[in-house]
Amino acid sequence: MSPQLYDLMVEIHRRSAASFDGVCTFNNISITDEEQELFNEAQAMGFINFEIKDDFGDYYILSLTPKGRTEFNLPEVKRKSFWHWLIGLVSPGITQPSQ
């Protein structure tokens, strides 16, 4: 496997982990022909889920498959629900004793 494919998988993993919905979004305009070939190669090998959306602009929705996570040794990102995130954000201020 090429180093570019590994870099792509890590980038998709990083962006997916940072997003609230657990998927990675790329603008179609920002994708080069080489990156498009990598997307197609990774999808053909079963490493990513690749979806093209055009509802309000052309963009790609990408996520790693279990096969892709295993092949590249990337952990599953467990997402907390919105309420867990909100409670975690607010609760430190509530539970801290006032001085």
Per residue in 46-56, pLDDT tens?
999 988 888 77
What is the rounded distance in angstroms from the CA atom of residue 3 to the CA atom of residue 5?
A: 5
Cβ atoms of 42 and 97 within 8 Å: the answer is: no
Which residue in 91, 46, 90, 88 sits closest to 69, CA to CA?
46
Cβ atoms of 26 and 32 within 8 Å: the answer is: no
Confidence band (pLDDT; 50, 70, 90) for 41? very high
pTM of the model: 0.71
Which of 11-25, 26-40, 71-85 shows the lowest mean pLDDT across its residues?
Answer: 71-85
Residue 74 has pLDDT above 80, yes or no: yes
**Architecture of the domain delimited by 3-95:** Orthogonal Bundle (1.10)
Report the share of the chain in percent with pLDDT over 70: 78
Residue 65 has pLDDT above 60, yes or no: yes
What is the rounded distance in angstroms from the CA atom of residue 36 to the CA atom of residue 32?
A: 6
